């Protein structure tokens, strides 16, 4: 025995019906022996099982999110590599170093990178010092 959830296309009634097999369902359907419990319409269809449908959608969504996260973190890592190769790391002294470059006209060939709070970045920008915040992923290989 197999239970199908059927839906009436005419009145939207949803009801469960038991069949000996999926073949029996197909046969009844073909011979127009299925009818709506509510309005007797023959326009009755098997619905997809709801829980399965929900799970598939959720899995797809999770897969998409994981894929997206991997793409984004790959971009971030490439960016980090570029910064590490081209900028000088100043750690928590970022705001101080950025100011000293800006005000003392230090001829540094390299840009700097380091950590700063959001407030520090805003203050630097107000003073006309270019600073960008980027997401940073901890590199476990280092
Ligand atoms: Zn109906």
CA distance 33 to 23: 13
Q: What pLDDT does 140 receive?
A: 61
Give the Å distance between the CA of 5 and the centre of ligand 1.
Answer: 13
Q: What pLDDT does 108 receive?
A: 61
Q: What pLDDT does 24 receive?
A: 92
Q: What pLDDT does 132 receive?
A: 81
Give the Å distance between the CA of 29 and the centre of ligand 1.
Answer: 15
Name the stretches of the chain with pLDDT < 50.
52, 142
- For the entire predicted model, the pTM comes to 0.47
Q: What pLDDT does 142 receive?
A: 46
Strand 111-114 to 87-91 pairing: parallel
Residue with tokens 């797809």: 60
For residue 42, give the DSSP letter: S
Q: What pLDDT does 28 receive?
A: 93
Give residues whose Cβ lies within 5 Å of ion ligand 1: 8, 10-11, 13, 36, 38-39, 41
Give the Å distance between the CA of 94 and the centre of ligand 1.
Answer: 70
Q: What pLDDT does 36 receive?
A: 93
Give the Å distance between the CA of 35 and the centre of ligand 1.
Answer: 8
- CA nearest neighbour of 42 among 8, 3, 19: 8
């Amino acid at each position: 025995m197999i239970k199908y959830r059927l839906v009436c296309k005419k009145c939207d009634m949803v009801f469960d019906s038991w069949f000996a097999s999926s073949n029996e369902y197909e046969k009844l359907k073909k011979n127009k022996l299925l009818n709506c419990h509510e309005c007797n319409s023959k326009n009755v269809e098997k619905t997809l099982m709801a829980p399965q449908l929900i799970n598939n959608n959720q899995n797809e969504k999770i897969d998409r999110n994981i894929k997206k996260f991997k793409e984004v973190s790959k971009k971030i890592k490439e960016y980090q590599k570029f910064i590490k190769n081209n900028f000088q790391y100043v750690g928590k002294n970022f705001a101080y170093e950025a100011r000293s470059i800006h005000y003392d006209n230090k001829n540094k060939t390299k840009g700097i990178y380091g950590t700063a709070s959001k407030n520090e970045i805003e203050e630097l920008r107000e003073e006309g010092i270019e600073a960008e915040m980027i997401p940073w992923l901890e590199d476990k290989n280092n």
